[in-house]
Structure 1
Amino acid sequence: MTGSLPLRAAPRAPRGLAVPLILPGAIDLPKDSRPRIYLAPIETRLDLRILLASLSRAGLPVPRWVPSTRAKLADETLRAAFLAGEPMLVPLSPPRSGPDRLARLLAFAQQAGVEVDLVPAELLWGPVERPPSLWNLPFGNPYDPPGWTRWLRLLRRGYARVVIGAPGTRTALEAESRAQGDKLALSTFVRVQGVKALSLAQRQVFGDRYKVPRLLAEQILGDSSFQDQIAAAGATQGLTRDESLLRGDRALRELATSHNLFSMEIFHRFARWVYGLAFDPHIDIDPGELEKLRALGRRAPLVFIPSHKSNCDHMALYSLLFSSGFPPPHTAAGINMSFFPMSRILPGTGAYFLRRSFQDDPIYKESLRGFISTLVQRRFHQEFFIEGGRSRSGKLLPPRYGILNYIVDGARRNDISEVLFIPTSIAYDQILELAEYVRQNLGDEKEAESFVFLLRQIRAARARKLGRIHLRFAEPISLREYLDRSGDDRLVVEKLAFRISNQINAVTPITPVSLACSILLGAGKRALGEAEFRAQAARLVDYAHERGIDVTQEVSAGAESALRCATDALAGTGVIERYAGGVEPVYYVTEKGRHAASYYRNTVIHFLLGRAIAELAMRAAAADAAGRRDARGWALRLRELLKFEFFFSDRESFAREFEREQQRLARESAAGLTPILAGCPRILLDFIESYWVVAETLRTLRSSGEPTARSVVLRRCHELGRQLLLQDRVQSPELLSNMNFGNALKLLENLGAAEKDGERWRAGSPERLDELVADLERLIALARS
């Protein structure tokens, strides 16, 4: 082997530059003269001198040779010096180009058959006792100070220290690599182990929440199996192996986060400030749940899967976890959030931006798969929204399988025995973006996220207080249970997604606003007197307690407390009005406020869905003179019609749930209890009416015979819906909803009543369409009664 390496003689390091040196607990570093390699991230010449001085003062062997950008040392000279026991210092990160110093030194040792001590070391800057604040911004990152400020900060006692990670030896690491079946080059494997050792040492200084990834892209790119997969993906596009690996490198560096302590601290404070403008900064959470999760996180990687109703979701969860001592999870964020300043801040906190569409880019897809697989392998916590985007309807959206699929695949590939999924409900007393959602459901285009958008959101948050944020964690779901049951990853992912979504719904609390809106919408357009309103609230609270449904503190305090909080919160919003000009005050949902009220009702409608379906099915069976279906048959028909709106269990479980609701309704009727308006069939009316409008719209378009663009179909649905409302042929203004219309198109296609050609639609089978319309008309009439 001939050539040279970019190394030079170590510079002189005055002892006055030495800082405290922290050794790994209960480990003695060997001080003999066998070859030694220090692996360290060196940012500046000053950092190098501080490291050398600190090692010297601690009595440890000081590197004789250090990295250089210009000077080069001939291989033979270097080999002789290294094997003679002269310590070497090499960068922790591999070179982007040129010779790899670490790989060459390890090759020398392997050829000579000698042992080598591998010692990770790092100079850590930053305060320990007092975390940084926004006041630090003008002076730069305190954990990575600008060059000129390093000298000033060095004068501050306790502001810098050198940490030594747990050392290893060449032979031990070679054996460990072989035992794990690792396909990384030895130099890459050594670096990965060094990173892990330094990460542990860093957490001992700054705390567990500062667990940050390093060299992720390098570890992935160094895996020969990953290289083969990228090459195979590129071959499908006619790319050479080198071209494919270059694209894979770019994709990985786009995904790999640049965690840094300063960004994590600053975003925590920024997030708390932003959501604190509109909401109580103290999130409603059971501290016991956090303690339980903290204990679980020490033995297994956690995957937080929150509901997604607001742009405040991630900020609230991040701030809560960070302030509770959790390391920030790696978070999948939409590319739409990659605008200044979020594009600079979020990657430093663990967020990575996903391209909106990458189905036609197999290299990016494989890079994302490899990235998530490595996160699983290295047991980092993760976070993603299973719904994909924010819910504009209040209901939980159908799950997207992409990220979940990659996590399951990563666990299988790496033989990870335990991954814990944490379904998380984030509920709000009121939604900051509600007016925006209503406009979008009525046909307006979604505003693109930008810096101006962020400023507008902040200004809206400052306009008025919106109550509290309620965060609930469901029971953790172990991936092991599902992997043990089935070898088919597709079935595993589908079952997992269904259970995660159901558990998010199950722990969503009923808030005062959702309670009040559910009751008043259940009454239709009829106003409720104060006494009846209070009685209905009491019935719903009792029903929630009977079924073990979570409620917020204000609802738990009783019906009067809940209604007072709801009416106070919605005062002046135009959603609920109180008329006191008659004998008794009455409450009602305004015409313009029905979309907003339906959003709040939809956040908890899943608790009342089975009850409403059971009652409507019994009405339909009683009115079915031809005896086409019994009550159970009509319940199953409703399940089929609403399957794109709600999460239903399998047919047998659903039938058992239907029978339980039947029995509960019979008991309540026998006891003379007042029916619960919030759970009556009327709560299904806007969905069924929306579907009917879509079916009638496709009927009117049938004559043309040509498929119609989706945007035109939606516009025609809104036009027909408004006409039918004016004619009083439909009764729910909230039926005018792009979300409902979109789900109706999916149903019609599924039933063969509509056909889709790309983004264009046409009516399908006339018989199927007519049958559907007849059933919808029958159910609408019964739901109104």
Structure 2
Amino acid sequence: MVEIVLADVRTACEHEIVTEWAARHHPGVSVRELDQLDVDALDADTLLIPVRVVWLPPVRHGERKVALADAIVLSNPRRPPAFRQEAIRKLGPDRVRVVAGEPATVADLGARYDEKQAQGASFAGFVGMQAALSAERAELELVGTRYKVPRLVAEQISSSARFQAAAAELSAELGRTAASVAQEATDKMSSFVATQSRLVRDIFTSTFSGLYERAWSVSVDLDTLGRLRTLNKSSSLVFLPSHRSYVDSLILASVLHQHDFPPNLVLGGENLAFWPMGPIARRAGTIFIRRKFGSDPVYKLAMRSYLSFIVEKRFNLEWYIEGGRSRTGKLRPPMLGLLAYVADAVEALDGADVMVVPTSIVYDQLPEIAAMARESAGGAKTPEDLKWLLKYARGQRVYRGEARVRFGEPFSLRQALAESGAGRARLEKVSFKVMDEINAATPISATSLAGFALLGAQDRAYTAHEIEVILAPLLSYIDSRKLPGPDPALCRGIGLLTTLRELTDAGVLQTYDGGPEQVWIIAPDSHAVAAYYRNGALHHFVDRAIVELGMLAISDGDVVEGGPAPDAQATEGLLAPAQQEALRIRDLLKFEFFFPAKKEFLHRLGAEMDLISDEWRTVRPTQEWVHQTLLASAGMLLARRSLQTFFDAQLVVATRLAAMGTDDLDKQTVLADCLGLGHQLSLQGVIPSKDSVSRELYDAAYQLADNRGAVRGDSADEVARSRRAWLAEVQVMRSRLSRLAAIEAEQAAAQQAAAEPPAPEPPAPEPPAAEPPVVEPKETDR
């Protein structure tokens, strides 16, 4: 068998280095460069050995890495210019290595060519591309998988038989030539393909890390990270993080880089592609795409082809399934477009799969919240540009606590699709699984718990001791549920003072220390900001809140006939009607929270009831039993604090719709009207939750109304009935929350009475002094 060392070199120095290496490892074997090789003239059994010279950066602080200074002097240590290579070779021989890729015969390469390449593509070009990719894989063995980046992307995709066939199919639909569609798709693909550079990636990481390193200390779930590294050896990973901040991607990239993961290809919106961020980020792995491209079939072809390539070549992906940053602290509804493309790629490629990694990123403090709260209340969004970036960077000089990166349970996308049935609903099921896993992994921070406690209390100032008393039963509940709670030390004593100081510095709270004791209160116009912190943990308390509302309904016999049927088999006590009522309440909240499948949901509610009462399955749920059971849960009634905001928002939208006609409605006009009505009702004291005055919450309530036929329908009468029915249900829920508030007040009074020392009993009155006996004078005395 004839062997040829195929040298992937750029300079004479590199050619000489490869020749010397070949003389030692393959004596007598010819060394050829690609342009010196006539592939068509070679025998089929000729073995081609791809070889490349790898230049390593110098050791800096114990690590080989590129510094910003390298870019400033226009030098790339991983790709030095020809005039510097000889000096590096002599002065730093440890920086020069030769790697050999997997060899292949001409016959093997011909078989691959016939299988994958479109007709007419150059065989010599295909051989060169395969040699470069093989040498690339060998280089990764040396430099580490963190530097794994896609190479020759456009060339591989546009020359593939699959791409050409898809372009031909689309051209028939559009009435155009296949060549013109293929060229347009290739051009559009070039506008978003991430042309990754290891130099730029190193510089991007070191430069933009300043946007978060001084502001947050980062903690990560190392156990799950170790499992992910093992999974990544056999499958690509698709990270789907919650989206809270502009620095989410930077923090996740830093965590993965430090633990030697390949870099993610990150899908982001074109709004962040401004200079200089865009050009740098694209070369560091960001794929900037249009927000909407459903009306451009050629763009869709380009995007689908690119994602199929990424799945096939097992590169890791990352995008934010919510489509944008959360405005309320809760997860936003998932966007299914990119998930659909990846799902199509998995199912179209034999044996292909990806592991979906739900990811949660949570911050103790986030400076962007105030601006997002203003936007949610109707304010205009500040456009992202260079001026905005500089201002944002200046704001990151203040330490803001911890940023926590946590991972939900990873799962196979192919398996999840198979278990979710057919049609578009299966993507919704998969996306809800992602959101539920993100929620389960999201830790409860001390700041979110403080927001939860203070928003649920009376709108007045509290001492640290009073706040500690409110938090104590919540910590007990978190512990009993084994939730990912905060460090308890941050919710009592000196730690609580630190937490309150952080919220005060962030403008969420105001403090007054002019009296005997320091007190804290939510700052004016900051209720929405406090709610953002609270909402980040709120999903952990929703099941308990639904149980409390359901208990009141069952004790009153207030169960709507014909409601959703439970999946589980009803047994004794209040189980069957409780399940039915719980599903009805869940239906009212389905555009606010992500719930698991019915069977799992009902199982969770049963676990909540076990915490409240161990006799709930058999006891007759009288009003007295429910009242006493709830009363015994001192400090742990969560429904009012968890759900008041959302039912207040629904009240505003339902009231506004009930007062409007049934003609076609303009959604934005309705939402604007609701903002005005919400402000009015808040000032009047009709709605107690000031944070419920929010366009985001009204938008979710509007979607619920539309889903229930309260926006448009077959007839005006049906729409009007649906609006009245929804309004009546919301009023019932708010009435129950008021009753729970009364029970909480009763609990508080009992606790206060128990805490106060008993008044001393007045001393028993002393008996009156005995009067001296009257002594009759003797006769002699007279």
Shared fold, TM over 0.5: yes
Distance change in 2, residues 1:145/1:449 (3 Å): farther
| Map of 2:752 onto structure 1 | none
Q: Distance in 1 between matches of 2:685 and 2:444?
A: 32
CA contact (8 A) 2:547 2:608 kept: yes
Deviations 1:629-684 (A, max 9, x none): 85544422221111111011233433343343334333596597553467232421
Distance change in 2, residues 1:212/1:550 (3 Å): same
Q: What pairs with 1:180-579 in structure 2 (closer than 5 Å)?
A: 186-187=123-124, 190-280=127-217, 283-416=218-351, 418-462=353-397, 464-482=398-416, 485=419, 488=422, 490=424, 492-525=426-459, 527-528=461-462, 530-552=464-486, 554-555=487-488, 559-560=492-493, 563-579=496-512
| Map of 2:638 onto structure 1 | 679
Structure 1 position 166 matched with structure 2 position 78:
no
Tell me how far 1:225 sits from its aligned partner: 2.2
CA contact (8 A) 1:335 1:353 kept: yes
CA contact (8 A) 2:543 2:605 kept: yes
Distance change in 2, residues 1:170/1:128 (3 Å): farther
Q: Distance in 2 between matches of 1:588 and 1:673?
A: 28
- The one-letter code matched in structure 2 to 1:783 is L
Structure 1 position 748 matched with structure 2 position 705:
yes
Tell me how far 1:524 sits from its aligned partner: 4.5
Q: Bigger shift: 216-225 or 663-672? A: 663-672
Distance change in 2, residues 1:59/1:570 (3 Å): closer
In structure 2, the residue corresponding to 1:564 is in which secondary structure?
helix
Q: Bigger shift: 600-609 or 654-663? A: 654-663
| Map of 1:653 onto structure 2 | 600
Q: Distance in 1 between matches of 2:238 and 2:147?
A: 17
Distance change in 2, residues 1:561/1:499 (3 Å): farther
- The one-letter code matched in structure 1 to 2:428 is E
CA contact (8 A) 2:241 2:359 kept: yes
- The one-letter code matched in structure 2 to 1:38 is L
Q: Distance in 2 between matches of 1:781 and 1:418?
A: 50
Q: Distance in 2 between matches of 1:636 and 1:378?
A: 44
Distance change in 2, residues 1:678/1:530 (3 Å): farther
Distance change in 2, residues 1:701/1:480 (3 Å): closer
Structure 1 position 118 matched with structure 2 position 48:
yes
Instruction: State the TM-score, normalizing by the size of structure 2.
Output: 0.83
Q: Bigger shift: 465-474 or 488-497? A: 488-497
In structure 2, the residue corresponding to 1:603 is in which secondary structure?
helix
CA contact (8 A) 1:608 1:679 kept: yes
Q: Distance in 1 between matches of 2:143 and 2:193?
A: 23
CA contact (8 A) 1:519 1:537 kept: yes
Q: Distance in 1 between matches of 2:70 and 2:539?
A: 47
Tell me how far 1:419 sits from its aligned partner: 2.3
| Map of 1:54 onto structure 2 | 17
Deviations 1:335-360 (A, max 9, x none): 11111112121122221111111101
Q: Bigger shift: 412-421 or 687-696? A: 412-421
Tell me how far 1:55 sits from its aligned partner: 3.1
What is the root-mean-square deviation of aligned Cα atoms in Å? Answer: 3.2
CA contact (8 A) 1:120 1:198 kept: yes
Q: Distance in 2 between matches of 1:446 and 1:144?
A: 42
Alignment match of 2:650 (pick from 669, 691, 716)? 691
In structure 2, the residue corresponding to 1:635 is in which secondary structure?
helix
Deviations 1:680-709 (A, max 9, x none): 32421111111121222233442xx65454
CA contact (8 A) 1:621 1:627 kept: no
In structure 2, the residue corresponding to 1:115 is in which secondary structure?
coil
| Map of 1:6 onto structure 2 | none
Tell me how far 1:532 sits from its aligned partner: 4.1
Q: Distance in 2 between matches of 1:161 and 1:782?
A: 73
Give the gaps of 5 or more residues in structure 2: 564-576, 615-625, 742-782
- Report sequence identity in percent: 31
CA contact (8 A) 1:753 1:763 kept: no
CA contact (8 A) 1:578 1:586 kept: yes
Larger Rg: 2
| Map of 1:713 onto structure 2 | 670
| Map of 1:607 onto structure 2 | 540
Q: Distance in 2 between matches of 1:387 and 1:118?
A: 48
Tell me how far 1:190 sits from its aligned partner: 3.4
| Map of 1:735 onto structure 2 | 692
Tell me how far 1:291 sits from its aligned partner: 2.7
In structure 1, the residue corresponding to 2:99 is in which secondary structure?
strand
CA contact (8 A) 2:240 2:321 kept: yes
CA contact (8 A) 1:541 1:559 kept: no
Q: Distance in 2 between matches of 1:473 and 1:297?
A: 14
Q: Bigger shift: 571-580 or 306-315? A: 571-580
Distance change in 2, residues 1:646/1:524 (3 Å): farther
Tell me how far 1:155 sits from its aligned partner: 6.0
Q: Distance in 1 between matches of 2:322 and 2:199?
A: 30
CA contact (8 A) 1:330 1:350 kept: yes
Q: Distance in 2 between matches of 1:582 and 1:737?
A: 35
Deviations 1:103-160 (A, max 9, x none): xx44444xxx543333323343341533121122221233234676667656642344
Aligned length: 701
CA contact (8 A) 2:365 2:506 kept: no
Distance change in 2, residues 1:170/1:521 (3 Å): same
Q: What pairs with 1:35-54 in structure 2 (closer than 5 Å)?
A: 36=4, 38=6, 40=8, 47-54=10-17
CA contact (8 A) 1:517 1:597 kept: yes
- The one-letter code matched in structure 2 to 1:413 is A
Tell me how far 1:623 sits from its aligned partner: 5.2
Q: Distance in 2 between matches of 1:208 and 1:229?
A: 32
Deviations 1:383-442 (A, max 9, x none): 111111111111111222222222222222222354222111111001121111111101
CA contact (8 A) 2:6 2:32 kept: yes
Q: Distance in 1 between matches of 2:328 and 2:200?
A: 33
Instruction: State the TM-score, normalizing by the size of structure 1.
Output: 0.82
Q: Distance in 2 between matches of 1:202 and 1:59?
A: 17
CA contact (8 A) 1:220 1:371 kept: yes
Q: Distance in 1 between matches of 2:287 and 2:381?
A: 22
CA contact (8 A) 1:123 1:161 kept: yes
CA contact (8 A) 1:644 1:747 kept: yes
In structure 1, the residue corresponding to 2:240 is in which secondary structure?
strand
Q: Distance in 2 between matches of 1:626 and 1:223?
A: 61
Q: Distance in 1 between matches of 2:389 and 2:71?
A: 20
